Structure 1
Amino acid sequence: MYTTSTAFLEALQEAGVSYIFANFGSDHPAIIESLTDASLKNKDLPKVIISPHEFVAMSAAHGYAQVTGEPQAVIVHVECGTQNLGGAIHNAFKAKIPMLVFAGASPYTQEGELLGSRNEFIHWYQDVNDQRGIMRGYSKYDNEIRTGKNVKQLVHRSFQIAKSEPQGPVYLMGPREVMEEETERVEIDTSLWEPIIGSALPEEEVHSLVSDLLGAKNPIVVTSYLGKKEAAVKELIKLCEKLAIPVLESVPQMMNFPANNPMHCGFQWNEDKQHPILEEADLVLAIDSDVPFIPTKNKPPKDATIYYVDADPLKEDMPLWYIPSKRFFRADSEIVLNQINKLVDQSSIDNSAVSTRRYKISLYHEKMKKVIREAEKPQENIITPEYLTACVREFVDENTIVLNEAITNYGVVTNHIRASETGSYFSSGAGSLGWNGGAALGMKLAHPDKTVISLTGDGSYLFSVPSVVHTMAEQYDAPFLTVIYNNRGWNAPKHSTLGVHPEGIAKNANQFWVNFSPNSELAKVAEATGNAHAVTVEDPNNVKDALRTAMEHVKNGRSAVLDVRIPKV
C-alpha cells in the first residue's frame, strides 16, 4: 500500500535529505514497512542510520548540517524518545542548526477500529497531553500529521521554516493510525518551497554605516558564526584588509576569519580579562554573534558606536539580552558585507590612517602569535593543553575538520589550532555538553574523504554517550580521532564558583565537588563498543607518537581515542 509513511519518506527524499538518524519504536511499523518495501524495490530514499541513543542521533544530524548546510532527519519514539533527545534539542536550537525531528505518537484508538490501534500496554503510558510541548521552546515549528493527504506539504513547509534564517530544528509527530493510513501520491514542485531569501540593508543605512566606519579611528569587527557562508568570510576579509580593521572572534562556532591573517586579533571566551583592542574601539561592527562581549569582563568603551547585524537581532528567545547599538539590522551577513564593500570601493579613504592602523594591528597580531608559541613549549613531566593542541595541529591539513568541545580548554584549542580555512573548525554553538561524538560521526558521514578530529574534555566525552557513538562509527564505517583533554574532573563548575567567589569557602577548602575517578579508562569504552584504537597518554614525550599512530588507524578505517592526561582540576 501507499501510506502516509510512504509519502512522508518520499518527501524527505524530495527535500534533499541524505540520512535519517533513527531510533525506532512501537509507533513506527508503517515507516519500517515502507522502508523495507523501498529497499526491496531499489527505490531511492534517505539512508537510515540506526542510533541506539537519541542524543547521538540529533548530534549527528547537527554535525552533518554544520559542514554541509543541508538539514537531515531524526526519527524518535513518541514522547520518550523526544525527551531522550535532551540537551541536543537545546544545542540545535541555540546554534541555529536546521533539521527535522519526527516522532510517532501513541495510537488514539484502542479497540481495533483502525489499522495501528493499540495492542501493547506501553501505548497507554506513552499517551501524554502535550507531546509537542516538549519541543516547543526549542524548535521553530511544530505540528501533528493528521492525514496522508497533505503530509508532503507539511514536510516541505517544515524544511522551508528550518532553512530560513535564523535556521533551526522543526518537529512533526504522527499517531500510528495516521501513519498507517492508505493515501494517494501527491506531486510536489520543491522549487516552490525554498527558504526565505536573505535581506539587505536600506541604501541610506549602508551610507550611514560606511560613513561611521570610515570615520572611526579604532573600528573592530566581532563575530561568532559568520563562517556559515564561505562567501561571507571572503567579503569580511576584503573589507578588513582594505581598511585594516581587526577581527575578534567571540566564542566562535566555526572558522569565521583566518587566524593567520594579520588583522586577526584573537578569540574570546570566558576569560576574566579585557581585550585591549576591544577596550579602545570607537566603532564595533557586531555581525553574526549572539554574545559579542561580556559586559562584566570584557567590553568596548561606553561611548563606542555599535552596529549589530544578525538574522535574529532581537534574540526574542533569550529573555535577558540587550546591546546598546546605534542600529539593529535583521539582515544577511554576506549581503550586508557585499553592500559595505561596494560602497567603500566608491568612497574616499584616509590611507594614512589606514596605514597607521594596519601597522598597529599587525604588530599586535605578531605579539599574540609569539605568546601563543611560548605557551606551546613542552614542559617536563606534564602535558599542558597548549602543548597538546600544538601537537594535534601538526597533523591537521587542508583535508581535516577539527571539532572543539574542550570547554575550560575551549580558548586554548581555538588559540592554538589557529584555523584558517572555511569549514575546517567547529564547536557546538550552544551549552549542552556531549555534542562532540555524534557531531564527529555526522561530519564524517557528510565528508567521508576528510579526516575528522574531535577535541573534547573528559566531561564532554562522557556526556556524548561514547559507547553509542563508537558502536555507530564502526557499523557505518565512519572512523574519526578523539583526543580527550582529561583533567580527571569537571573544571567548568570550579571556574564558575571562583568567578563569583574568588576567595570563598570552596576555594579555601579546595572542595568544588568536581572530581571524577582518576582510574577511569575512558578510551577503553570506545575500544569495547566500537573496536577503536584506545590509548592513555601520560608522558609528554609520547604525545606525538601516539597521535601519529592514532592517525594511521583512522586513515586505515578504524576510529581512535587518545585519553591524554593533562594537569588535574
Structure 2
Amino acid sequence: RGPVYVSLPRETLCQPCPTDGLSDPPRLAPARAFPDPDAVAEAARILMEAERPLIIAQRGAGSAEGFAALARIAEAFAIPVCQYWAIQLAIATDHEMAAGADPASFLAEADAILVIDSLAPWSPEIHELKPGCRVIQLGEDPLYARFPVRHFRSDVTLACDTATGILALAEVMDPYARAPAERCESRHKAVAPQIARLRDDTLSRAAAGNGKPPTKEFVSLCLSNAIAGRSARVLSELGCPLGPLTLTEPGSWFQEPHSGGLGWCFPAALGMALADPERLTVATMGDGSYIFANPAACHQIAEALELPVLVVVVNNAEWGAVRHSVLGIYPEGYAAKTNTMPLTSLSPTPDFTRIAEASRAWTALVTDGAELEETLKRAVRIVESERRQALVEVRVRP
C-alpha cells in the first residue's frame, strides 16, 4: 500500500471505456500478513516485564483501530511513545504518553523498546542504547530488508500489517491492563510529569517565537489554534513542525517520505483533497519546497478542480535543510563561525502570494507574528465557506 503512478498513452485514454463490471467486487483480494503468535506473546512479555519500556513509531499505527489500540497500551502500561522523524501520526500529540519527537532521554533509560514501522528509530551517532536493552521491531517489513546499511537491533521481529500487529499485542496485553502491576503505577508517576514538562516546554518555546518575523514553531502553534475543533489533516515538507501542533486523530499528520520528496507536499495535498474534500487539508512547506512543487501548475489544478486547500508557505528565504546539515556535520567549521552558508540563499525572495493570485486564490502575506493566528483563522473560514483555495505566506526567521 502506497503511492501508485499509472501512465497510459493518450490514444488509449481517448478510447471509449466499457463500464460492465465496474461495480463488481475486485478480482484480486489484497494479502494481509499476520504475526507469529509466539513472537507476539514474547514481545508482550518483554514490554510488560520491563522497568522502562519505550515505543518509537514513525509511520503511524496502520489504521484507526491500531491508533486507538496503541494509545490504550501506552496509557495502561505507562509506556512513552516517541514519534521520532514521524511521517504519520501514531498517537495523539496531547496524549499523556506522547513523548514528543526526541527519544534521547527515554532511550538512555529504556530496557525494552517497541519499534513500529520505523526506518531509523534513532540515530546511532547521537543515541546509545542501554546495555541489555531488548528491541522489538514491528511492521510490514520491520527490518527494511532492501536497505543494506540499516543495522538496528531486533530481538523479536514481527513481520505483519502494522495495525494487525498492534492489535495482536493489545489482545495479549489488555487483560493485564485491568490490574496494572505496581511498576506500572510507579512508572506512571515518574513518566507522566516528565512528558507533561516536555510538552509544556515545547509550547512555551513556540509561543516565545512570536515577533517580527516569527519562528517556524510559532507558525505551527498558531496553525494548531486555527484548526482546533476541526477534523483536519496537516502536511509538512520542511514547513510547520509537529511538536507545537495538537492533533488527535489518525491521518491528521503527514510529512515528506524519508527517501526524499522536494515538491511532494502541495501535490499530495491536492490528491488528499480530491479523495476527501470534506476534511480540511492544510499543506505547509518551506519556500524552497514550494518552488519545487511547480506551484503555478498546482494552483491551476486547485482552481480547475475546485479543491479547497489551505497552503502555508513558511518563508525563511533560504534552503534551511542545507543550512542545518552543514551545521550538524561541521559545527565548528568556517560556515558556522561566520554564519555564512554558501549556496543556501533564496534572496531576493519572490512574493509567493502573486503566484496563487494568478489562479484566483485568497492570499495573505504575514511578517508580524501578532497578526498570524487571526490571518490563519480567516483563511480556514474562507476555505471552508467558499470552498476554494487559500495561501498564507509567512516570513519567518532563518
- Normalising by structure 1, we get a TM-score of 0.64
Displacement of 1:346 in angstroms is 4.5
Q: Is 1:257 matched up with 2:101?
A: no
* Residue in structure 2 matched with residue 399 of structure 1 by the alignment: 231
Q: In structure 2, give the amino acid aligned to 1:225.
A: R
Q: Residue 191 of structure 2 is aligned with which of 358, 361, 371?
A: 361
Rounded Cα–Cα distance in structure 1 between residues aligned with 2:277 and 2:167: 33
Counterparts of residues 165-314 of structure 1 (less than 5 Å): 190-201=25-36, 203-268=37-102, 275-314=104-143
RMSD of equivalent CA atoms:
2.4
Counterparts in 2 of 1:313 and 1:345: CA distance versus 1, 3 Å: closer
Please tell me whether the aligned partners of residues 220 and 285 of structure 1 are also in contact (alpha carbons under 8 angstroms). Answer: yes
Q: Which amino acid aligns with 1:284?
A: I
- Number of equivalences: 389
Q: 2:215 aligns with which of 384, 390, 395?
A: 384
Cα distance between partner residues in 2 of 1:513 and 1:194: 50
The alpha carbon displacement at 1:229 in A equals 0.8
Distance 1:293 1:531, change over 3 A: same
- Encode CA deviations 1:428-466: one digit per residue, 9 max, x unaligned: 323121111111111111111122111111111111111
**Pairwise mapping of residues 35-184 of structure 1 onto structure 2 (< 5 A)?**
none
- The Cα of 1:277 is off from its aligned counterpart by 1.3
- C-alpha contact 1:228 1:254 (8 A) present in aligned 2: no
* Cα distance between partner residues in 2 of 1:540 and 1:333: 40
Name the CA distance, whole Å, in 2 between partners of 1:541 and 1:473. 29
| CA distance, structure 1, for counterparts of residue 113 and residue 84 of structure 2 | 13
Aligned to 2:331: 502
Partner of 1:336: 165
- C-alpha spacing 1:426/1:346, structure 2 compared with 1 (3 Å): same
Q: Secondary structure at the match of 1:417?
A: coil
Q: What amino acid maps onto 1:30 in structure 2? A: T
Query: 1:316 Cα deviation (Å)?
Result: 2.6
| Counterpart in the other structure of 1:53 | none
**Residues 252 and 429 of structure 1 are in contact (CA less than 8 Å); yes or no, is this contact kept in structure 2?**
no
Query: Aligned partners of 1:257 and 1:523: how far apart in 2?
Result: 34
Correspondence for 2:348 among 518, 521, 526 = 518
Paired residue secondary structure (2:15): helix
Q: Helix, strand or coil: the match of 2:100?
A: strand
Q: Distance in 1 between matches of 2:79 and 2:216?
A: 30
In structure 2, give the amino acid aligned to 1:515: S
Contact 2:216 2:396 in 1 (8 A): yes
**Aligned residue identity for 1:295:** P
Provide the rounded CA distance (Å) in 2 between the counterparts of 1:455 and 1:499.
24
- State how far apart, in whole Å, the 2-side matches of 1:478 and 1:369 are: 34
* 1:423 aligned residue: 251
In structure 2, the residue matched to 1:458 is: 287
Q: Which runs of 5+ in 2 are unaligned?
A: none
Shift of 1:487: 0.4
Whether contact under 8 Å (2:32, 2:160) holds in the other structure is: no
Question: Which secondary structure state, in structure 2, belongs to the residue aligned with residue 242 of structure 1?
Answer: helix
1:564 matched residue in structure 2: 394
CA pair 565-496 structure 1, distance change in 2 beyond 3 A: same
Supply the distance in 2 between the matched residues of 1:563 and 1:284 (Cα, whole angstroms).
40
* Paired position in structure 1 for 2:381: 552
Percent identity between matched residues is 24
Deviation at 1:23, TM superposition (A): 8.0
| Alpha-carbon shift at residue 21 of structure 1 (Å) | 8.6
Structure 1 residues 226 and 198: CA distance shift in structure 2, 3 A? farther
Amino acid at match of 1:486: N
Q: Report the alpha carbon displacement of residue 498 of structure 1 after superposing the two structures with TM.
A: 1.6
Q: Which has the larger radius of gyration?
A: 1
CA spacing shift, 1:338–1:400, aligned 2, 3 Å: closer
For 1:512 and 1:321, the matched residues in 2 are separated by 31
TM-score (norm 2): 0.90
Letter in 2 for 1:304: C
Q: Match of 2:71, as an amino acid?
A: I
Say if 1:191 and 1:558 are closer, same or farther in 2 by CA, change over 3 A.
Answer: closer
| Bigger share in helix | 1
